[in-house]
Amino acid sequence: MIPLEHYLYISAALFSLGVFGVLTRRNAVNVLMSIELIFNSANINLVAFSRFVEGALGGQVFALLVIVIAACEAAVALAIVMSLYRVVKHVNLDDAAELKG
Amino acid sequence: MESMASAAIFYGVAVLVLGSALYVVVGKNLVHSAFALVAAFFGVAVFYVYLGADFLAGAQVLIYVGGILTLLLFGVMLTNRIYNLNLRSGAIQVVPGALSAGLVFALLVWIIQSVDWGAMDAGDPGPTSESIGRLLVGDYLLPFEIASVLLLIALMGAAMLVRRRGSGSS
């Protein structure tokens, strides 16, 4: 069987890749994709712990709620990106600095 | 023998997931990144199957691949001019970003190695949909209801945000 640590390593690598994407991508939609990677890495951890702890199905319920939150986040964030595109005609995050003081 | 094949498939899927995740964050073409994300989501669903979470694996494929990814692809298409065929996404601060991400990864690996998890494989729990359903309307009723209301509010808010001003006002 696959030991728990290997799931944790994969999840850690996925999380770091997501962090890298959030920090370096300029396109807002691409940043959203990286955030989805981070959500997935957290979910792997939750499900893995729920498997390796006896009778703890709560982790899977929690992962399900995380998926729901991810759907909300994607919908609202894409709506904001659309509004941004309508105003400034691009979705480059570091060029959208209109609110900068 | 069978467990060896299963382990080989697991590590193959792990490489696939990490490789497509890498392409998502460094690839130049946005549409290709979105399709690499499909591969990553499917791979994560395979992990859920390995962990015995059958219901979650189904939900992952339905919601992530069927819902969120379609939404993201719409986002890619609608925020670029339609004649702009090479949808590029540049990168900034690559060195500080790689440094921070590497630091986070090193920290996580250090934590994983230094903690004695003492975890034993609890065995395949069998079909989980019934128990998850009972938990959702039992122990976890309040989070479940809050999540439903949050979803409703978020979707209404999203529709409100992208509505064209001036149209639809009666």
Residue B8 lies in a domain: yes
DSSP letter string, A31-52: HHHHHHHHHHHHHHHHHHHHHH
Cβ-defined contact of B122 to A1 (cutoff 8 Å): no
Q: Per residue of chain A (101 residues), give pLDDT as tens.
A: 788 899 999 999 999 999 999 999 888 889 999 999 999 999 999 999 988 887 778 889 999 999 999 999 999 999 999 888 888 877 888 777 777 76
Q: How many CB pairs under 8 A join A and B?
A: 232
pLDDT in tens, B84-99: 655 666 777 888 999 9
Backbone torsion region of residue B27, taken as left when φ is above 0, otherwise alpha when ψ lies between -120 and 50, otherwise beta: beta
User: Is any Cβ of chain A less than 8 angstroms from the Cβ of B109?
Assistant: yes
- Which residue range(s) make up the domain with B158? 126-170
Phi, psi of B131 (to 5 degrees): -65, -40
Residue B96 lies in a domain: no
The letter for the amino acid at B90 is G
CB atoms within 10 A of CB B121: 14
The angle, 0 to 180 degrees and rounded to 10, between the axes of the packed helices B30-50 and B2-26 is 150
Say how many domains are in chain B. 2
Cβ-defined contact of B78 to A82 (cutoff 8 Å): yes
Separation CA B89–CA A30 (nearest Å): 8
User: Is any Cβ of chain A less than 8 angstroms from the Cβ of B149?
Assistant: no
For residue A29, which of A90, A88, A81, A84 has the smallest C-alpha distance? A81
Residue B53 lies in a domain: yes
User: Is any Cβ of chain A less than 8 angstroms from the Cβ of B74?
Assistant: yes
**What ipTM did this prediction achieve?**
0.91
**B103 in helix, strand or coil?**
helix
**CATH number, position A81:** 1.10.287.3510
Cβ-defined contact of B79 to A29 (cutoff 8 Å): yes
- Which residue range(s) make up the domain with A68? 4-88
The letter for the amino acid at A54 is E
